[in-house]
Homo-oligomer: A and B are copies of this chain.
């Protein structure tokens, strides 16, 4: 028993070191860019962490024999959380060594990257070396695909609250024979992600971006990240084509990637019948239409109003969080619609954060059932999803998650307010960080960044955004005493 536990810990450690090795590999292109540009400080900033991890990874691979020990759900939770924490810490080294930012800011920046929050403390990004901009972008991209793979392929197996839903739908993994099917699913999803990203980069290039900007924006938009290589963001390019392409791809990034898996397998019917995707698009269309009408007097023409409304709606709903206009100057109604979109977020199994559309759909349907139950007290009502009668008990997981999400937002708001930030800015920041949006209202509106927050708040935000990214349960369960018992 005790030996097996040690063996397990070794295996966990090896897993983690391999994962860190992957981070080092992901850093390689940035190092190449640093060398090519002769950015001497950045060469050291990338070579140092890459060197450490490569040696560690190599040593551990040599020293540890291969064992086929079964990892249980708890090991899975720990592994996922530690992956994001260690990636954030390791990924912070280039920011810290390469640029004159504090350790706290470097870790916040790196956590924002792997959690695809896209928040920043750096106001003049154009002053950053290209290698660091590239690192920031590719970090988002891998954070995005990481979370998609985990939510579509791993979490249903771990039984994370509410994800039984997805488990029931996902064609891939069954608890018994996980490994081969997971590998197939993961490969096809990775392929879809790659194809979409490549297409987006090409479209950006066609729209007038240089290759570097096109690649970096391709990475961050597909990851629902939202950071830019330009201080003015996407607005820098001043192109209706680029705005439109961004709008469409932000929406695509917020869709469940198991849909692309199904498209690749030719199962079109499944995609059309997907309740969550339909609700997501309806929310987008209604919100964008309402904001468009509200913006016509502001922008003078329906076309310009539509361009801004659809971009900002897609950006907040998909939790990308970028802006091409200062929506804080928009009329109160448009801002309020955006505010409520922050409570929704994208689809499950996407790169988007937030509470997720599917949970709102389930609660909405439950609300309807209760109304019906009052009229027909003897009726029995189920929740239909994807044109199939669903299990009613999905409510348990969804209700628990919904409340946990609001509690996390409330606690984060209170701690932020205790540091002196005004009430609404604190609330908006907590919502934005928990949902991995990045932008918000007041002190974190589109004209601001996160530099003004005190260090302990940046640490809190870094933790909360990772917890939010990993669907909260995954992380919070580790902090319960029961997790460490047994």
Contact = CB atoms under 8 A, between A and B. Distances in A.
Interface in A326-355: 331-333, 335-337, 339-340
Q: A-side binding surface: helix, strand, loop or mixed?
A: helix
A398 B158 CA distance: 27
A3 interface: no
A337 B426 CA distance: 12
A368 to B, nearest CB: 8
Contact of A363 (B336, B339, B403): B403
Contact of A422 (B332, B373, B399, B422): B332
Interface in A361-395: 363-364, 366-367, 369-377, 392, 395
Contacts of A336: 413-414, 417, 423, 426-427
Interface stretch (A96-104, A250-258, A474-482): A474-482
A403 B364 contact: yes
12 contacts: A77-B374, A332-B422, A333-B414, A335-B417, A363-B399, A363-B400, A370-B401, A371-B400, A371-B480, A371-B482, A375-B486, A392-B396
A407 interface: yes
A427 B473 CA distance: 29
A473 B374 contact: yes
Contacts of A395: 395-396, 399
Contact of A377 (B159, B363, B366, B414): B159
Interface of A: 73-74, 77, 158-161, 294, 331-333, 335-337, 339-340, 360, 363-364, 366-367, 369-377, 392, 395-404, 407, 410, 413-414, 417-418, 420-424, 426-427, 441, 473, 476-477, 480, 482-483, 486
A313 to B, nearest CB: 14
B73 A400 contact: no
State the oligomeric state as a number of copies.
2
Contacts of A421: 332
Given A340-B410, A400-B363, A374 B159 contact: yes
A400 B339 contact: no
Contacts of A397: 370
A374 B417 contact: no
A374 B427 contact: no
